Amino acid sequence: MIRKTMMKRSAAVCATGALALAAFAVWAQSAAQPAGAAVSPVPTPSVAASAVSAAGGQASAANDPQAQLVRQGEYLARAADCAACHTAPKGKPFAGGLPIASPIGTIYSTNITPDKDTGIGSYSLEDFDKAVRHGIARNGSTLYPAMPYTSYAKVRPADVKALYAYFMHGVQPVAQANKATDIPWPMSMRWPLSLWRKMFAPPVVGDAASTDNDPVSRGRYLVEGLGHCSACHTPRGFALQEKALTDDSTVFLSGGVVDNFLAKNLRGDPTDGLGNWSEGDIVAFLKGGRNDHSAAFGGMSDVVQHSTQHMNDDDLAAVAKYLKTLRPVDPNARALAYDETAARALRAGSDRSNGALTFIDNCAACHRSTGKGYTQTFPTLALSSTVNSADPTSLIHIVLRGAQMPSTRSAPTYYAMPGFDDRLTDQDVADVLTFVRTSWGNKAPAVTAAQVAKVRKEVGAAPQPQR
């Protein structure tokens, strides 16, 4: 039943060509990481511990300050999900080489293990800080913003120091040469990236900014900085810069499309945001990958698996508290209410529309004629913020290619949804999704066959069946 969908990481890549006077930007889509690969690229604590003892001698002592710093750095590296991009599928942890494809060519993440020749083993703390927070490589050239330094600029120096300690002493060195981009000249010139950086990168923060004893401030710090949540959840502007980097604007975390999934609105909107989620619901989702409202899929499945499930309860509660402070994009939107009509019509067999019949034949076994599914197993479609998002990209994608929840420590059993690309035509998918989006109290715009055809092509799904 479980299909291996191809999971992708995304990145913004921007370049101003010497030949083009105007800014030239590309939303780059990265390459492929099989979703089904259950192996976590994140090194286990024992790796960290053994490397610590190799470096420091008596590191097993729990109160050794250096060992503690390394452990803290390991925790922060998970919260920042450095492994997501710096570990290639089946590759050694942090050895880089993940291809990130863009229309102008492929770039590769780099080796950030402490190997002296091919990794960052000879980097000073300043070199490391320059790369991570300023987006400047040791040779002075600017990094592609695929590396989310515009978020990491918000990480405080003390935490950068802990990250540095971890990467120097808690990660196994791996000798693996970096791959050069295959972007052709003149697009490969990096100086235009520094213009982009000067225009869009925020100033880096100092240590004075710490207000971590206030949960909302701690949550903001984690979300804006290490978590780089806005890299996916904030819409992009003309040069593919994030339209907002802080919650001064309601654009921040209001939703963006990444790898043909909608990284949806995380603001307080009651229909398509987190307005109806309690803090506990948010924590359960980030920790276990599911809750009574939804289950993680697409890029978020990876985020939960490799990053948020490893965060401690205080930090998850802080993230939830902070997200709940975000004002809705639409202050006038009202919460939806469940409506029995569709469930009754399905049971009576009185709705003979293609949408209703397609739903009965293909979806109702799991999501039920009530649309309420089975809690924590088959997510509810009724009143779901995912279903009621204006942009249907995620819905089309998931129906065509299926999806698989993450397996987490708190919820190891995961469930998968099959893909219907070879069974349903574009019109069928449009009809069934339009049915779902207008039943049980849901209120979202219809989906068209043209929208389905576009996503079908972009996600590499099977061609529609011939009837």
Q: Which of residues 54-113 bind ligand HEC (CB under 6 A)?
A: 77, 80-82, 84-86, 100, 107, 109-110, 112
Site for ligand HEC in 363-382 (CB under 6 A): 363, 365-367, 378-379, 381
The piece of 42-50, 55-63, 201-209, 229-237 that touches ligand HEC (CB under 6 A) is 229-237
Buried b (16+ CB within 10 A) or exposed e, 273-309: bbbbbebebbbbbbbbbbbebbbbbbbbbbbbbbbbb
Nearer to ligand HEC, 84 or 342 (CB): 84
The piece of 51-59, 226-234, 336-344, 455-463 that touches ligand HEC (CB under 6 A) is 226-234
Half-sphere exposure of 291 (CA within 13 A, CB side): 17
Site for ligand HEC in 319-358 (CB under 6 A): 319
Report, in Å, the least distance between residue 64 CB and ligand HEC.
Answer: 23
Contacts of 157-161 with C-beta under 8 Å, sequence gap 24+, read 157/129, 157/206, 157/207, 158/207, 158/210, 159/76, 159/226, 160/125, 160/128, 160/129, 160/132, 160/133, 161/69, 161/125
Q: Any idea what the Cα angle at residue 337 is, between residues 331 and 342, rounded to 5°? A: 135
The piece of 16-24, 198-206, 238-246, 291-299 that touches ligand HEC (CB under 6 A) is 291-299
Nearer to ligand HEC, 63 or 282 (CB): 282
Report, in Å, the least distance between residue 420 CB and ligand HEC.
Answer: 5
86 assigned ligand-binding residue: yes
Report, in Å, the least distance between residue 253 CB and ligand HEC.
Answer: 8
Tracing tokens 């995304």 back to the chain, one arrives at 10
Tell me which DSSP letter residue 223 carries.
I
Site for ligand HEC in 255-274 (CB under 6 A): 258, 261, 263-264, 266, 274
Look at residue 196 and give its three-state secondary structure: helix
Report, in Å, the least distance between residue 89 CB and ligand HEC.
Answer: 14
Report, in Å, the least distance between residue 60 CB and ligand HEC.
Answer: 25
Give the residue among 244, 294, 246, 247 at the shortest CA–CA distance from 274.
294
- In sequence order, the β-bridge partners of residue 33 are 7
Site for ligand HEC in 182-221 (CB under 6 A): none
What does the block give as tokens for 236? 């992009």
Nearer to ligand HEC, 60 or 327 (CB): 327
14 assigned ligand-binding residue: no
Total length of the chain: 467
Report, in Å, the least distance between residue 411 CB and ligand HEC.
Answer: 11
Nearer to ligand HEC, 62 or 174 (CB): 174
Give the residue among 73, 42, 43, 69 at the shortest CA–CA distance from 56.
69
Nearer to ligand HEC, 60 or 353 (CB): 353
Report, in Å, the least distance between residue 427 CB and ligand HEC.
Answer: 13
Q: Any idea what the Cα angle at residue 99 is, between residues 93 and 103, rounded to 5°? A: 160
**Could you say whether residue 397 binds ligand HEC (CB under 6 A)?**
no
Report, in Å, the least distance between residue 424 CB and ligand HEC.
Answer: 7
Those residues whose C-beta lies under 8 Å from the C-beta of residue 446, and which sit 6 or more positions away, are 430, 434, 437, 438
Site for ligand HEC in 128-157 (CB under 6 A): 128, 131-132, 137-138, 143-144, 146-148, 152
Radius of gyration from C-alpha coordinates of the chain: 23
**Could you say whether residue 13 binds ligand HEC (CB under 6 A)?**
no
Residue 447 CA to residue 394 CA, distance in Å, equals: 12
Residue 142 CA to residue 133 CA, distance in Å, equals: 12
Nearer to ligand HEC, 128 or 221 (CB): 128
Binding site residues for heme c, as ranges?
82, 85-86, 229, 232-233, 363, 366-367
